[in-house]
Amino acid sequence: MSAVGLWTLGLAAAYTAFLVLANRRLARRPAEDRAAAFFVGGRRFSAWTVAFCITGLFSGSSFISVLELSYLTGVSALWYGVAETVQILLIALLLVKPLRKRLVVTVTGIIGDRFGRAPKLVAGTITAITFPMWSVATTIAFASALHVFTALSLPLSVTVTAVLLLVFLSAGGMQSVGFNQTMNCLLFAVMAVVGVIALLSAPGRAALAELPVQRPDLLDPLATGPALILAWFGTFLVNVPLAQAAFQMSLSARSPEEGQRGMVRAAALGAPFIVLGAIIGCAAAIAVPSGDRGLEAVPRFLAEVLPAPLVALFFLGIWACALGWAGPCQFSGATSLGRDVGSALRPHATAEQLVRWTRWSLVALTALMILFAVLRTEQSAWWNILAWTLRNGATLAPVLAAFAWPLATRTAAGSSMIAGFGAGLAWYQLSDWSVNDFHLGVHPVWVGMIVNVIVLVLVTLVQAGSRATWRADRGGVLALSGALVLPVVTALGAPVLHPLGLTGPLVLVTAVLVLVAAVRTVRAVGPPSGTVESRRPLEQTAGSAAD
């Protein structure tokens, strides 16, 4: 094992031990409602705590994704970070206050409160499966560094990283997440300083100077491809009403206003990390040109230009990125599996049982994360997009219906989730699970969401039958007109629009317009069937499974 490997493992183990001990102390603090403290931190976060939480969640993930993508495609990887930043700002502006009024914890909780136990079970299961995919994306980054600097194979490095993550998460709870994310952000700053030092070193400056000569393609702002860039923006925009982990953090604030301010601050804090990731990735592409795995090339580049302790500090920052993203993702996924699925199966479970099942779920999701990492260890950003394809393809329409369409039925919600999830998987299979070469040139993320929306509308209208009444509505008529015109425009403009990756987004917009038209023009006569009328405060639903 190299000196860098020893330093990296030692620092990561020491930092993880520090977090675990600190979290144990936090867990022993008295709380009036242990379940509420576990799931939403007792709603005591300040704006800065929320800012650190969201920065740790999104900026760490974006830094790793941009770092890897920029090694392969150059500065066009910045669009990934831009898309994620837009998502943060939209959540802050549009959803923090309404969701605080509804007192929700999870997306699956929204679906369960509106449609009942069976859809809650389906949504919770799908959500739980996809969260380890997000976790593995950042876990692979730290594991790749271990693989480069030690004698461990890449699968074994992933396993070691996952076990460290589980130990870190074992203390659990949103209070711990708030503390951990603050510490992770401090390490992000240290990592940024080390990264700048590497770029200012003689080899770093030489690599950047050679960039326009040796690899001018890396300076192309659209080198990633319009289809993939649009998929990033579309995915993050659609993810705005579905960003479960971000909801849990922002809704743990003392007030909706503090939650909003925290998210806006997070967007500002994250921007420098995204830019730095792209610059380091491009420098590594010049310094270590042979290879298709940026997460292995970057460690080699840094080892050439920095002493071992500084390299280890940089990858301690990568470990903080992994913890900052994978930790909340695993916790939020475990919340869906332990609390939401558990309460769907056992409606009369106690608060203590739900917390215990959530802790057990962390172990199960860690094993699933290791399996995913072994299946595919390259292209960590691919796991992020796959997770969004499957989760958003399942839950987009039911969440929109939960907020806006009382006529939507339980069967429609369940059917649309299964159909959207299956369509996304099937389209990836038809695309041979490619990163950027898709069946018929359409990204699977669009296919899953299109099927999800259309199935919910069709099943609801079929089931509504005589219970539905149609009414003239100007907004509904405009939406329906747009839904009729847009496919014609898409077909006529296909020679221009399809190569730009616009076919999928335009068809999705058409499907959403159909949903809007249905919401505005089709209403229920009397209470809709297959819905759950009552709503309970978050502090109750977090601790009791009465559904």
- Are 470 and 262 within 8 A, CB to CB? no
pLDDT: which is higher, 24 or 482 = 482
Backbone φ and ψ of 469, nearest 5° = -125, 140
| Averaged pLDDT for residues 117-125 | 91
Taking the whole predicted model, whether its pTM rises above 0.85 is answered as no
* Averaged pLDDT, 414-418: 95
> Which amino acid does the sequence have at 433?
W
Radius of gyration from C-alpha coordinates of the chain: 23
pLDDT in the model for residue 35: 53
Residue 541's pLDDT is what? 39
- pLDDT band of residue 461 (cuts 50, 70, 90) is very high
**Residue 541, both tokens:** 């639903």
Among 130-134, 361-365, 416-420, 536-540, the range of highest mean pLDDT = 416-420
Structure tokens at 311: 């390299």
DSSP 153: -
Inform me whether the pLDDT recorded for 530 exceeds 60.
no
> Which pLDDT band, with edges at 50, 70 and 90, does 126 fall under?
very high
Alpha helices in 376-497 (DSSP H): 380-404, 410-430, 444-464, 474-492, 494-497
* pLDDT of res. 525: 67
Neighbouring residues of 60: CB distance < 8 A, sequence distance ≥ 6: 138, 184, 188, 273, 320, 321, 322, 323, 324, 325
Compute the average pLDDT of residues 175-192.
86
Q: What is the mean pLDDT of residues 51-68?
A: 86
Q: Residue range 365-379: average pLDDT?
A: 81
pLDDT tens string 320-341: 887 887 777 887 788 888 888 9
Q: Are strands 468-470 and 522-524 parallel, antiparallel or unpaired?
A: antiparallel
The string of pLDDT tens digits covering residues 237-295 is 887 887 777 777 777 788 888 888 998 999 999 999 899 999 999 999 898 887 667 77
**Stretch (H or E) spanning 469:** strand 468-470
The answer, yes or no, to whether residue 39 has pLDDT greater than 80, is no
Residues with Cβ within 8 Å of 206's Cβ and at least 6 positions away in sequence, in order, are none
- How far apart CA 230 and CA 509 sit, in angstroms, is 13
Give the model's confidence band at 27: pLDDT under 50 very low, under 70 low, under 90 confident, else very high: low
From the centroid of its chain, how far is CA 97? 21
- Mean pLDDT, residues 31-48 taken together: 63
The per-residue pLDDT for 512 is 94
Please tell me the least confidently modeled range out of 181-185, 471-475, 541-545: 541-545
Q: How many CB atoms lie within 10 A of CB 16?
A: 16
C-alpha span between 357 and 337 (Å, rounded): 8
Cα 139 to Cα 145: distance, rounded to the nearest angstrom? 10
- Name the token pair of 499: 């190569």
Tokens 């292209």, residue located = 379
Of 444, 318, 434, 320, whose CA–CA distance to 382 is shortest? 434
Residue 132 confidence (pLDDT) above 60: yes
352 or 119: which carries more pLDDT confidence? 119
Q: With residue 523 as reference, give the H or E element that holds it.
A: strand 522-524
Number of Cβ atoms within 10 Å of the Cβ of 466: 6
Q: Tell me, what's the pLDDT at 535?
A: 41
Q: How far apart, in whole angstroms, are the C-alpha atoms of residue 483 and residue 515? A: 10
φ, ψ for residue 354 (rounded to 5)?
-65, -40
d(CA 268, CA 257): 17
| Amino acid (one-letter) located at 249 | M
* Beta strand segments in 174-248, E: none
Number of H helices, E strands in the chain: 25, 2
Provide the pLDDT confidence category of residue 61 given band limits of 50, 70 and 90.
confident
SS3 (DSSP) at 409: coil
Cα separations in angstroms, 419 against 216, 381, 393, 423: 43, 25, 8, 6
Please determine, for residue 369, whether its predicted confidence score (pLDDT) is greater than 60: yes
What does pLDDT average to over the chain? 82
Q: What is the pLDDT of residue 190?
A: 93
Q: Which residues contact 379 (CB under 8 A, 6 or more apart)?
A: 68, 435
pLDDT band at 26 (very low <50, low <70, confident <90, very high): low
How high is the pLDDT of residue 76? 92
Tell me how many degrees the CA angle 219-220-225 measures, rounded to the nearest 5. 140
Q: Residue 202: CA atoms inside 13 Å, Cβ hemisphere, count? A: 1
The pLDDT, as a whole number, for residue 173 is 61
Check pLDDT > 90 for residue 481. yes
Mean pLDDT of 65-84: 89
89 vs 351, higher pLDDT: 89
